[in-house]
């Protein structure tokens, strides 16, 4: 696996050499390297929302293989293969929806899928439910990050989009890291199934934060 990772990394380096980025000439005041320049204020609310939604994803990364073995599934790695199909389907179908109607409907729908997928996974007793939950959760997660990324880019101008994306990616890393730690704690003292019930509850919190805070903040800034 690690040897394959080396060759994949080498292929990535080779591909990077063919990327041509036009040189940008930034006019105006030169930005100094400061803590405040690393984060974008307008991205904080959406990033908090994404942080919440990445906690369950950390739980999946940590324990889906062990959970598959617990259910008697021989090769639980297929979960991520099927999960990726859900992600791909989401990426192909949701871009136009966001451009046409904004984030409200598409994010609400996908958060609802997570509220369906995690309880289904937590209560799975066979491979059918195990893999079915992979498609549902994959589709829900497949929409979440690119939609939030579009939101933070819409909330700021071109000169601050680097900081906006940095803020968003920081929330992703922190959310997954916390999810791994919290899931390990819950699995140690309860069960892996309980981990995914916890993920469902956190998804409820993410949906509530979306409807109460994030969408209002986004609409007030974009329409103002």
Contact residues for 36 (Cβ-Cβ < 8 A; gap 6+):
none
User: Given a cut of 60, is residue 3 above it in pLDDT?
Assistant: yes
User: Given a cut of 70, is residue 224 above it in pLDDT?
Assistant: no
pLDDT score recorded for residue 90: 82
pLDDT score recorded for residue 102: 87
Contact residues for 136 (Cβ-Cβ < 8 A; gap 6+):
86, 113, 114, 116, 117, 120
pLDDT score recorded for residue 162: 87
Residue 102 dihedral angles phi and psi, to the nearest 5°: 85, -175
Q: Which one is predicted more confidently, 30 or 153?
A: 153
Mean per-residue pLDDT for 169-196? 95
pLDDT score recorded for residue 23: 74
The total of other beta-carbon atoms located within 10 Å of residue 133's CB is 26
User: Given a cut of 60, is residue 194 above it in pLDDT?
Assistant: yes
User: Given a cut of 70, is residue 166 above it in pLDDT?
Assistant: yes
Q: Which two tokens stand for residue 37?
A: 């320049």
Alpha helices in 102-160 (DSSP H): 103-122, 127-154
> What is the overall mean pLDDT for the chain?
89
pLDDT score recorded for residue 33: 64
User: Given a cut of 90, is residue 10 above it in pLDDT?
Assistant: yes
Q: What is the pLDDT of residues 48-73, one digit of tens each?
A: 999 999 999 999 999 999 999 999 99
Which of 138, 137, 4, 130 has the alpha carbon at shortest distance from 74?
Answer: 130
Q: What is the pLDDT of residues 24-54, one digit of tens each?
A: 666 655 666 666 667 889 999 999 999 999 9
Q: Which two tokens stand for residue 3?
A: 């040897």
Helix (H) or strand (E) holding 12: helix 2-16
User: Given a cut of 90, is residue 173 above it in pLDDT?
Assistant: yes
Q: Which two tokens stand for residue 41?
A: 């204020």
pLDDT score recorded for residue 222: 82
Q: Which two tokens stand for residue 4?
A: 């394959």
Which of 110, 92, 188 has the alpha carbon at shortest distance from 148?
Answer: 110
- Give 74's DSSP letter: S
The rounded Cα 50 to chain-centroid distance in angstroms is: 7
The sign one gets for the Cα dihedral 205, 208, 209, 215 is positive
Round to whole Å and give the CA distance between 94 and 104: 12
Round to whole Å and give the CA distance between 121 and 117: 6
The rounded Cα 121 to chain-centroid distance in angstroms is: 18
Q: What is the pLDDT of residues 109-137, one digit of tens each?
A: 999 999 999 999 999 999 999 999 999 99
List, in order of start, the domains of the chain with CATH numbers. 45-222 (1.20.1250.20)
Round to whole Å and give the CA distance between 71 and 73: 6
């Amino acid at each position: 696996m690690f040897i394959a990772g080396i060759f994949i990394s080498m292929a990535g380096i080779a591909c990077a050499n063919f990327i041509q980025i036009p040189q940008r000439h930034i006019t105006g005041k030169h930005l100094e390297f400061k803590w405040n320049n690393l984060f974008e204020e307008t991205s904080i609310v959406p990033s908090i929302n994404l942080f919440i939604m990445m906690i369950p994803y950390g739980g999946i990364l940590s324990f889906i293989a062990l959970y598959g073995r617990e259910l008697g599934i021989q090769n639980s790695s297929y979960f991520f293969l099927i999960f990726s199909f859900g992600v791909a389907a989401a990426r192909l179908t949701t871009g136009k929806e966001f451009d046409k109607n904004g984030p409200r409907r598409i994010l609400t729908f996908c958060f609802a899928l997570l509220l369906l997928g995690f309880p289904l996974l937590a209560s799975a007793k066979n491979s059918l439910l195990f893999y079915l939950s992979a498609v549902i959760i994959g589709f829900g997660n497949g929409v979440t990050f690119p939609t939030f990324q579009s939101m933070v880019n819409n909330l700021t101008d071109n000169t601050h989009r680097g900081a906006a994306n940095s803020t968003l990616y920081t929330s992703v890393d922190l959310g997954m890291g916390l999810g791994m730690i919290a899931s390990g704690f819950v699995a140690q003292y309860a069960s892996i199934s309980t981990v995914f019930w916890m993920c469902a509850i956190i998804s409820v919190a993410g949906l509530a934060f979306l409807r109460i805070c994030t969408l209002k903040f986004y609409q007030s800034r974009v329409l103002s």
